[in-house]
Every structure is written in structure tokens, then in C-alpha cells.
Structure 1
């Protein structure tokens, strides 16, 4: 349910980057949070920042759960991987319909924005814009194959997969666009070369060495990890990969994404629960990683005065959530779409 840009709502909220739990009244005016005031009594609702999916391939929706065997390269490496052959053979209308269906699925599970690596050049970027048109979400579109400057930036595969990476980066930078690389998904061999371009985002870093992680953190580059995809694609069998605990320990910036819809449902609730179970990071760190990717869109994503923001209103009386002793842990481990009542989005 879309809420008006002017409203007042009370509840138990998770405030700021620290996700501090407090009973408050939040006033939204003109799509901006103008005040957050403590109150002694609330409606019993939970007010939580909406999620940002920091890495998707939504075009892959048209190949969802297709029987697929073989190497990672044979499945997803451009330009002739299985997914690329399927995309090339799919009519544009079906592609748009599939991406739109995945966007609405994300919205139903609390995601307000996403960063997509979009194949197909300029028309591929336009197709995703068409898919998102009229929906209460905000895409960050990282184009490929000539779509780097008509979208929000360049979504580059492994530097080993792209012969003209230097030219792509130079063109994107000249246009003031973002630069993102896949790196370290199956081994650490392409991470240093990606770092030479000083990207705005690295995706995966599943097998980054400790020295590489220190360099990434020192350079201030966020890492979008996709744990479920890594396990499904067989590039990890260990909670040490991706090195989520080490990224946090070093003070790095961690984002959470779901990767290819071909293999994994674009559901940040499932991603958070899996990450909590396998990687044992704290609920606060996982929840931050599921929110902070909004920085790619130029906003904080958190509940703060003066911010354009988006948040979820959760009714814990639906089901057993009202018995929670830790809202953050419950959101990360137990939340599902049936408890998400409203979604305020103000970033269009």
C-alpha cells in the first residue's frame, strides 16, 4: 500500500545507521522525514528501513530454474554463456514482463530499490526502465554492451571476461557514472586488476585474500556479497567464503544482494535469513548490509531526519512476531511478506 508523502506514523522504529530501537512518532512532509519524536505509547507497529538489493540480474527471470549443468563460465560468462543465449532469444516484451514480475516480488518482500547488472546495451537498459515504470521502486541500472552511459553506470563482468574494460571505465567516468565489477567469485585472480580501476562497487569477492580485503577496505570500496547464489553455483562450501566476518572485522562496507534470478529468488528476507544461519554475523550487521546499498542511489536508506527515505510498517500481531525479544533478529531471521503492511517510498 502506497502511503501519501505527508503523514504521521507512530511505532517502534529502528533509527539511524545504528538501528537504535525507540518508540517514536515520524512525520513525513513532502516525501522527507521532517521529525522523529519520542513517544510514550505507540500503535504496536514496527517501523523499519526498507531493503536495497545491491546486486541483481533481473533479465535472468526468463531463465528461472531452467535445468542447467556445467561450469560457472558456461552458465553466465559473456557473451556466450547459457543465460546470454537465452536472453538473446527472448522477445523484448517477455523480457520486460519477466523483470517487472521480479521487481514486484522484491517489493512484496520489503525491497524498495536494487542495483542491476543489465545486459543488452542501451535497449537492455531501456527495457529495465520500462519494467520498473510506474512501480514504487528505484532501480540503479548498471549497463553492459554499450549501455554503460545511458544507465547509471557500468556493470562489468570479471575483468578477465571483458577485453575493453579500460575503455568502458574511462567512458563511464567521463559521463559521471558508477563503475562496478564482478570480482573474486570463483578465485581471487581478478580482484587486483579490478581494484586498479578504483571501482565504486565490487560484487562477490567470494575468494578475496586477506591482503586483498585489507586493500579493498583501505580504498573504501563497498562489497556486495550474494551468499545464496555462491552456494547454489558451487563457488563456495564454507562460511569463510565470502569473507563476511572478515569484512566486518576490518570495518569494511558490506552490502547484500541476491544475484541471478535464474538461480535464486530476489528475496532479501530469504537472503538475510540464510546469511544469519550460515555466516553467523550479528542481526545488526546483516540488516545494515540489506539497507546500506541505497547509497548507490545517493541516499542513506536509514530512518533519519532530513532524509528522503522509504520504510516498512510491520504488524507483529500477524502471526507470532509480537513475542519477539529482539526486533532486529526477528526481522533478519523470521520476517515474511505476510507481516509487511505498508511501504513508504519517496525516492522517485
Structure 2
């Protein structure tokens, strides 16, 4: 991606995404200074996006016709997606994942947390696919691949017989622990919480007591609303209970889940969430960025920070007529809008 000496426009600053007309000076990729200005071009400047939950290997199964329940489609070891992955050669898998990463990069996604099937070969394929790209994967390995990854990605605790052993081994090595929970129903959430995870995925059917525990213990939740609707585990804005999550003080990230069904486009994910819930645009935008903490450094526009930046030239589209730029970004932003992306 390109490098810039300075940027001017309406920037969304710090962790609270406070909007301010500024001039940003960059030096070797680091924000050296930020100056408030009166007159600025009609541009929006925001941190790069972070997709907090993906399965991009499933690109090879894109839009495969499906029948059956969720378990028959995605549950290990013999769900439909797993059978397709086993039947796919390494070269095709690598090429498919790279293609999806190139798409995410073009749309301003700077990083993502991926559940990587296939053991060590699967992790190696993702690392090879990412070589030379600006986008950075946080790899959560499975089937033994976690030894060569950044962490362990567990399916529902009811799907894995020896999940406790896997988690104990990963924790001894200081690895990130992420677990699917509450996607089909609430019955596997307590089991997941008992493992003291670093991240829960979905919590579509979480109860208040589950959410309070997540809030009290500081366990973030990556929600994937479009996937939940497409896979038929919800038909209600109450699931996932994202408004309640925020009300109770949970940390919420946004993910797109399975590339078999859902294009990994956080602009579409944010717009969808804004339609089905009453959650504010600023909170939704935060969700699309905050997952970056999983990689060790929150994406934020502040002095001294080295962070990915998206610049949208609103003057070149109808976005220039916006009276609420944050809402406009969330509800109308799209893959065609970023003018500059600096990783």
C-alpha cells in the first residue's frame, strides 16, 4: 500500500472515534502529529478494519448448495465443509485463501482472526497465502495446527472430545484461546466459559448471566450477524443480543465467519447490523475496528501510533452530502469507497 506524508480530512480519533477536522503528519508509517484545522477536504479518515472471525479456507466451498442443520454443514470432523476441505489440494486451497485476503485488503480490512482447519499443513497454507500482502492474519489453528499458529481455535465444546487437553497445552505455551459458543443454543456457553477463553465466537443465544460473566471477566465476544441469519440459527434482532451486550458492558468485535456462505466484507456486516438493531453507528464502527486488540495493538488514529488508515474521498461520491459521517460510513460505506489504504 502507498505511503503518505500528510492527510487532511474528518478523522475519527482515538478509541472513542471522536470526529475532528485535522491534518495528520506521517513519518515512516507512524503518526507524528495531528493538528486541528478549520477547512479540510471532504474526506473521511478512519483506522483500518479488523475482521474478528473468519474461516477463509472455506472459500473453496463458496456458495455450495446446502441442506441439513448447522452441525451437518460445519461441525468437525465430517461436516460438509470439512469434507470439501479434505478433498481440496494444497495449491488450490492456498490460491483461494490468497484471493479472499486480497479482496479484504482492497476493502480496507487490515487484519483478521482466522480459524484454520487442516492441522500444520492448513496453517502453512495460510501463511504462504499471506506472504507479501499488507493484510495480516491472526491464525487460530486446529487439528494440531495450533502448535504452529498464534492460538487455538475450538469448535463448540460439545463437538470436541479432548478440548480440555488441547486448551491446557495451548495455555501452557501462552497461546490465545478462542471458542465457538452459543451459536445453535445456549447449552455450550457455560462449558466454554469454564475454559477461561480469550475470545468467544457468536454467543447468538447467550443469556444475561452469560453476558454478565463475559463483561465481569473481560472476555470479548466476536459476533457474526449475517452468518447467523444465513445459517438459520436466528431470525430475530434479539439474537445475537448485541444491544444487551453493550448495555451490560461486554467488549464486542465484528466478524464475518464462514467464506463458504458470507463474503468477508465488514462494510456489509456493519450495514446489516445497523438495519437489524438499534445499536449506534459509532458503536458498530468500533466493533469493526476493536478486534485489532487480538493482534496486540488496537488500531487507532492518535499521535505516536503506527496504525493502518483508510481514507475515503467523500467529494467523489454522494457521501459528501452526509450530515452524520459516522452513520454514513457504517450504513453506506462500501468496498468501492476507500481512496487510499495505508497499512
Q: Considering the TM-score relative to the shorter chain, is it more than 0.5?
A: yes
Q: Which of these residues, 301, 325, 328, is aligned with residue 330 of structure 1? A: 328
Aligned to 2:205: 207
1:268, distance to aligned residue in structure 2 (A): 0.4
1:42 is matched with 40
Q: What is the SS of the residue equivalent to 2:336?
A: helix
Q: Which residue of 1 aligns with 2:340?
A: 342
Q: How far apart are 1:29 and its partner, in Å?
A: 1.8
Aligned residues: 343
Deviates more, 1:37-46 or 1:104-113: 37-46
Per-residue deviation, residues 130-171 of structure 1 (Å, max 9, x unmatched): 111111111100000001121100010001111111111111
- Whether 1:57 and 2:52 are equivalent positions in the alignment is no
Residue of 183, 186, 196 corresponding to 2:184: 186
User: Which residue of 226, 231, 249 maps to 1:251?
Assistant: 249
Q: Aligned partners of 1:31 and 1:342: how far apart in 2?
A: 14
Report the Cα distance in structure 1 between the residues aligned to 2:68 and 2:257, rounded to whole angstroms: 18
Is the Cα–Cα contact under 8 Å of residues 217 and 252 in structure 1 kept in the other structure? yes
- 3-state SS of 2:146 partner: coil
Q: Which residue of 1 aligns with 2:130?
A: 132
- Per-residue deviation, 1:41: 2.2
What SS does the aligned partner of 1:189 have? coil
Q: SS state of the match for residue 53, structure 1?
A: strand
Tell me if structure 2 keeps the 8 A contact 1:148–1:168: no
1:272 corresponds in structure 2 to: 270
- The corresponding residue for 1:297 is 295
Query: Is the Cα contact below 8 Å between 1:217 and 1:251 reproduced in 2?
Result: yes
Q: CA deviation digits over 1:202-256, x for unaligned, max 9? A: 0000001111111111110000000000000000011110010001101110000
1:173 is displaced (CA, Å) by: 1.3
Cα distance, 1:54 vs structure 2 = 0.3
Question: What CA distance in whole angstroms lies between the structure 2 residues aligned with 1:206 and 1:126?
Answer: 31
Q: 1:118 deviation in Å?
A: 0.3
Where structure 1 has 5 or more consecutive residues not aligned to the other structure, the ranges are: none
1:123 CA displacement: 1.1
Residue in 2 aligned with 1:3? 2
Deviates more, 1:166-175 or 1:253-262: 166-175
- More deviation, 257-266/105-114: 105-114
Counterpart among 150, 154, 165 of residue 152 in structure 1: 150
How big is the alpha-carbon RMSD for the aligned residues of Structure 1 and Structure 2? 1.0
2-structure distance, mates of 1:8, 1:54: 29
After TM superposition, give the deviation of residue 313 of structure 1 in Å: 0.6
Aligned equivalents of 1:318 and 1:172: distance in 2?
49
Structure 2 CA distance, aligned partners of 1:212 and 1:164?
23
Unaligned runs of 5+ in 2: none
Which residue number corresponds to residue 118 of structure 1? 116
Could you tell me which residue of structure 1 aligns to residue 318 of structure 2?
A: 320
CA contact (8 A) 1:299 1:308 kept: no
In 2: Cα distance, 1:152 partner to 1:33 partner: 27
What TM-score, normalized by structure 1, do the two folds share? 0.97
Question: Is the 8 Å Cα contact of residues 224 and 254 (structure 1) preserved in structure 2?
Answer: yes
The answer to which of 126-135 and 222-231 deviates more is 126-135
Structure-2 residue corresponding to 1:235:
233
Q: Which residue of 1 aligns with 2:219?
A: 221
TM-score, L = length of structure 2:
0.98
Deviation string for 1:60-110 (max 9, x for gaps)? 000000101101000000000000000000011110111111111112222
Q: Distance in 2 between matches of 1:219 and 1:121?
A: 30
